[in-house]
Amino acid sequence: DEQLLAEIDHRNIRLHEKVTGELVNQRYKFGRMLGQGSSATVYEARHKRSQREYAIKVIKKNDDMNDDESMATELDILKNVHHRYVLCCHELFETPQCIWVVMELIRGGELLDVLIEGGVYTERDAARVMKQAFLAVSYLHSLGIVHRDLKLQNMLLTEKDRTSDLKICDFGLSAQIQKDKLEWSDKDEVKKYHGLSDKWGTPQYFAPEMLWKAYGPQVDLWALGVVLFQLLVGRLPFNASTNQELFRQIERSPDHLKKLFAMGEWNGVSEPAKSLVSNL
């Protein structure tokens, strides 16, 4: 009805937003707010029919949101990733003004919080966490996904317990490498790929290749090395008051790590564990 559509336009009623928003509210009962950022708010929610609990991330499409290309990449990844150790998306609703991402509800919090509250990990506990992280990252790389921001804050635990499952989250800075640019079954080819150039992520976790603006999936393995370092001794391997000094440490990592391994905090750590940190 042209007259009705004209009246809707005249009153500035965002029909698509209202209909989709009503659909979300028909399906889910929203609970307490779990967190809030510049463009997104996360709520606890319950599916009205199944009574299953979820977390719903409500993203407002405003100036604080990631650019359109990054947002499209993140949503595409969320729709296609299904793995035990990766935070999964259950449903996705989108309008020109807003996005509702219905995700698993994770109660354990960030791996960073667990580390701060409970102190450094034993090698046995660290091995279990890292095995799950390696399996998740191997899966992501098999799909051509480079996370680019792996860190303790983007690794969640299903419960506040060191024996619970790990979940890798937050694909806001991730990249998808097209299948025609790389043969993913050839692991040597994957290791050599350096077709990405954007310097995105968290500087303390940057790999040297990211500083040189020529990198690929390898940067995720470097970041896991930084994570393992923190689990074993409770602090970052690369940390400085300026990015210039920080990047100098990263580029000279073999000498820098050699000095760190000589410190007393590493006395109780086995040689195989140190070797894994160095190789990553």
For residue 159, the SS3 value is coil
φ/ψ (deg, to 5) at 36: -145, 135
What is the rounded CA–CA span in Å between residue 115 and residue 155? 12
For residue 277, the SS3 value is helix
Cβ pair 34, 42 in contact under 8 A: yes
Helix axes 253-261, 271-279, angle to 10 degrees: 160
Torsion region of 198: left, alpha or beta (phi above 0 gives left; psi -120 to 50 gives alpha):
beta
Which residues are designated catalytic? 149
User: How far from chain centre, in Å, is Cα 201?
Assistant: 10
What is the rounded CA–CA span in Å between residue 28 and residue 48? 5
What is the rounded CA–CA span in Å between residue 180 and residue 176? 12
Give bridge partners of residue 102 from the DSSP assignment.
Answer: 56, 91
What is the rounded CA–CA span in Å between residue 150 and residue 36? 21
Cβ pair 90, 104 in contact under 8 A: yes
Amino acid sitting at position 163: T
